[in-house]
Amino acid sequence: MATAERRLDRLVASGPALLALALGVFPLLVLFVESLGPGLGPANYAEALSPLYRGALTYSIGVGVAVTAVCLLVAYPVTYWLAHRCPARYRLVGLVALTLPLWLNYVVLNYAWVWILARGGVVNAVLVNAGVLGQPLEVLYTEVSMALGFVYIYLPYVVLTMYVSMERLDQRLMAAARDLGATNLRVFVDVILPRTLPGAAAATLIVYARIAGAFATPEILGSPGNVMVARLVVQAVREYIDYGFAAALSFVFLVAVLASLAVGALFPRVRRELRQW
């Protein structure tokens, strides 16, 4: 009887475990075998690490870091205001308004920015007609338009995650710091930042790798000259039909992302705050 029950327990528990294995590890494993190629050698990796591709890798990581940083920079004051200054009854409205882009297809969101930023787009039309600008701004298909698109699409995730942390931030801790002589900047560094770091870390985990590995936004809004990793992977699959190389490049990218996250977690301060998690 007891053993039958235990067997049933094990059966029930093995379901999710197998699912996790199937979804998480198995595809990666297949990908890894693929990346080694028919000869099971490191040739694909050697190519993926060649200077030609290294540039795209560092550029992708750089874009990921920069855009994540901008998102956090925007989300901090916005969520602080929403959680601690905004009258309670407008809070939900504010939160929904800020996260509205989550509900739309992100390809559409990207094209919305093409329309906004184009030579004859809304921004230029208004600014030129108002006499603010002599001639239209050329921002579309630059790093600026790409960054705008990225921030627009990923900010809602960061805002939602940070908001949870901000809401839990105890106002009285700020009063205590002030009473003990802290300036506004010290209150931020000594109380707000450490108390919300878990939220910032969670937000980073969610958006950073997706930004660094993004395909649509750089394609639609970015400059053709700035190559990010995703385009190379897609090229390898579609144009060169070189699955092994595509897989190897993906793996190198994965390692680069994990390594950069590890570097972030190495800051003693970050480590300390995260340990309380």
6 forms part of the interface with another protein (CB under 8 A): no
Cα dihedral value 102, 105, 110, 112, nearest 10: -90
16 vs 268 by CB, closer to another protein: 268
Rounded to a whole number of angstroms, the minimum distance from the CB of residue 276 to another protein is: 7
What is the per-residue DSSP string for 39-62?
A: TTSSHHHHHHTSHHHHHHHHHHHH
273 near another protein, rule: CB under 8 A: yes
Alpha carbon distance 200, 220 (integer Å)? 28
Contact 258, 55 (CB under 8 A): no
Token pair in block for residue 114: 């093409």
- Count of chain residues binding another protein (CB under 8 A): 20
Q: Which stretch binds another protein (CB under 8 A): 43-51, 72-80, 139-147, 172-180?
A: 172-180
Total residues belonging to the chain: 277
Contact 229, 253 (CB under 8 A): yes
The residues in 25-84 that bind another protein, with binding defined as CB under 8 A, are none
Cβ proximity to another protein: between 105 and 276 the closer is: 276
Whole-number Å distance between alpha carbons of 188 and 182: 9
Over the window 88 to 107, marking each residue x when it contacts another protein by CB under 8 A and - when it does not, the resulting string is: --------------------
Contact flags string 176-215 toward another protein, x per CB under 8 A: xxxxxxxx--x---xx--xx--------------------
Closer to another protein by Cβ: residue 91 or 178: 178
Task: Tell me the residue type at 115.
Answer: W
How far apart are CB 265 and another protein at their closest, in Å? 17
**Cβ-based nearer residue to another protein, 4 or 180:** 180
* Least Cβ distance, residue 13 to another protein (angstroms): 34
Nearest to 94 by CA among 139, 156, 2, 183: 156
- 205: closest CA among 98, 30, 71, 18? 71
* Binding segment toward another protein, per CB under 8 A, in 32-40, 53-61, 166-174, 258-266: 166-174
Residue 167 interacts with another protein (CB under 8 A)? no
Closer Cβ to another protein, 54 or 272, answer by number: 272
* Cα–Cα nearest to 10, from 24, 21, 18, 23: 18
Near another protein by CB under 8 A: residue from 31, 74, 173, 237 = 173
Helix axis angle for 143-168 and 193-212, nearest 10°, is 140
Ordered DSSP codes for 95-114: HHHHHGGGGS-HHHHHHHHH
Residue 175 near another protein by CB under 8 A: yes
Q: Is 165 in the site for another protein (CB under 8 A)?
A: no
- Interaction site with another protein (CB under 8 A): 170, 172-173, 175-183, 186, 190-191, 194-195, 272-273, 276
